Amino acid sequence: MRGKINSSLTVLHHLEYLDLSGNNLGGVGVSIPRFLGSLQSLVYLNLSFMNFDGKMPSQLGNISRLQYLSLSCYGYGNISRLRTDDISWLSHLPLLRLLDMSFVDLNGTADWVQVINTLPNLRTLILSGCELAL
């Protein structure tokens, strides 16, 4: 698919599984839509390989039932990428079992270890190419 994610998805109140990975719904200056944070029933969200750019929305922390979250942004060979300097919103996802933020620029995130430690059910953590510092 090409284009953008339509906000009409928010009418799907019982949607539990959303995988849009590999679709070109991003581009330079196109970030992950904030309205995705209103999809309260999601347990699975995969937005990887979508060519998003810009800051990651903290509204994703509103999806408290989420168990699987993939936001990896490699694969298109361009320099556009997701970034954030605050991942504290992750602490609102206590059921999270898998988190993949590969190649999301986390360079400005000083407290990432402490935030990850607040996720009691996390079993898989993938942070390849995130420019992290300990």
Model confidence pLDDT, tens digit, residues 24-50 = 877 777 889 999 999 999 999 999 988
Is residue 16 very low, low, confident or very high in pLDDT (cuts 50, 70, 90)? very high
Burial tier of 16 (Cβ tally within 10 Å: 0-12, 13-18, 19+): middle
Radius of gyration of the chain (CA): 14
Is residue 53 very low, low, confident or very high in pLDDT (cuts 50, 70, 90)? confident
- Average confidence (pLDDT) over 68-86: 75
How high is the pLDDT of residue 130? 86
Say whether pLDDT at 3 is over 90: no
Q: Reduce the DSSP state of residue 7 to 3 states and report it.
A: helix
More confident residue, 23 or 124: 124
